[in-house]
Amino acid sequence: MIVAVCSLGGAPGVTSLATAVAACWPSTPLTVPVLVEADACGGDLASWYGIDTDYETGLVSLATASRIPVPVPAPAAAWAQAGAQDASPAGEPLLHHAVELPGGLRAVVAPADPVEAGRAVDALVSKPALLGTGKATVIDAGRAVPGSAGAALLRHADAVVVVTDPGNVGHASRLRACAPALASLRQEGVRVGLAVAEPCPHSDEEVSQVASGLPVWARVPHDLVGAALVRGEHRSPTRLRDRLAAWRSQRRDPDGLEWMPLIRTAKALAELCDDLSGIGAASPVRRAIEVGAA
């Protein structure tokens, strides 16, 4: 399952949402979610978490390895017929290029230099096979404007989440202009939905109408505490409603983080995308996510 998170311009929290979705992915012992920072404009994770980017791990090494043919894993029935166990290293090639962030999330970090990052994204677009070697891959595609390398990368995803701010006139105009290109992805079997940045004065129906019928999958709240957590910063709740939400959550689950609106939204969005992995491209989206601030 490959999920790409992107924007059409500006940067309305794409990296924060992609990181939160990957961290909240419904993982199992056989499913290790991996975040791939494939922003052609350069990455942020290295600076957020104080990671020294090198050529042994990260987006550059992944792009280099993508030029090497990846063996196609044989189905389990073929291994059984040959009298051997399935030896395909599912998920391992992508994990080899990832580092572990605080909290346990595995991430393929992009260099901050847009020249290096852009070259790496171009290489992945031409040979994206390694992106599919993980059980759950969340791609931070950054600004995926039509005609860019980031936009080309979307065609290799199973689902695309477009972060937009229709409350901003410029963003609304760009969404209207790019909607036909996004809708064309659905003709290729890619599920496409919108993540609307709050506050937004428009209803889901109004936003969908501007976006040529694309559904609203999530409403992303303005959550300073949750955003700081995603950036690797610890910030205690200061607002009264945040303190009350944290207190109520800790009474039920001392280790829970879902009192933060951003984390709660990311978890719901991750569960929706995980559900889409078993839905045919012609089937309608069964449910939309409407998660407001606490």
- The better pLDDT of the pair 265, 225 is held by 265
Question: Which of 11-15, 72-76, 284-288 has the largest mean confidence?
Answer: 11-15
What would the DSSP string read from start to end of 6-44? EESSS-SSHHHHHHHHHHTS--BTTB-EEEEE--TT--S
Q: What is the CATH number of domain 2-69+90-276?
A: 3.40.50.300
pLDDT value for 81: 58
What is the per-residue pLDDT across 171-211, written as a single tens digit (0 to 9) for each? 889 889 988 888 888 888 899 999 999 888 899 999 999 89
Q: Cβ contacts of residue 133 below 8 Å, gap of 6+?
A: 70, 89, 90, 91, 92, 93, 94
pLDDT band at 148 (very low <50, low <70, confident <90, very high): confident
Domain locations along the chain? 2-69+90-276
pLDDT for position 291: 36
Q: Which of these ranges, 27-41, 133-147, 171-185, 273-287, has the smallest mean pLDDT? A: 273-287
Of the pLDDT bands very low, low, confident and very high (cuts 50, 70, 90), residue 140 is very high
% residues pLDDT > 90 (the chain): 35
Q: Mean pLDDT over all residues of the chain?
A: 79
Which 8-state DSSP code applies to residue 237? -
Place of tokens 């990052």: 117
Residue 101 has pLDDT above 60, yes or no: yes
Give the long-range contacts of residues 56-59, CB within 8 A, separation 24 or more.
57/96, 57/97, 57/98, 57/99, 57/108, 57/109, 58/97, 58/99, 58/108, 58/109, 58/110, 58/111, 59/97, 59/108, 59/109, 59/110, 59/111, 59/117, 59/120, 59/121, 59/124
Q: Which of 84-93, 203-212, 225-234, 236-245 has the highest mean pLDDT?
A: 203-212
pLDDT, average across residues 55-82: 68
- The strand pairing partners of 25, in sequence order, are none
> How confident is residue 241, by pLDDT bands cut at 50, 70 and 90?
low
- Kindly report the pTM of this predicted structure: 0.80
Residue 73 pLDDT greater than 80, yes or no? no
CA 80 – CA 133 distance, rounded (Å): 21
Q: Between these two residues, 36 and 228, which has the higher pLDDT value?
A: 36
CA–CA distances in Å: residue 252 to residues 152, 248, 249, 257, 264 = 44, 7, 5, 11, 15
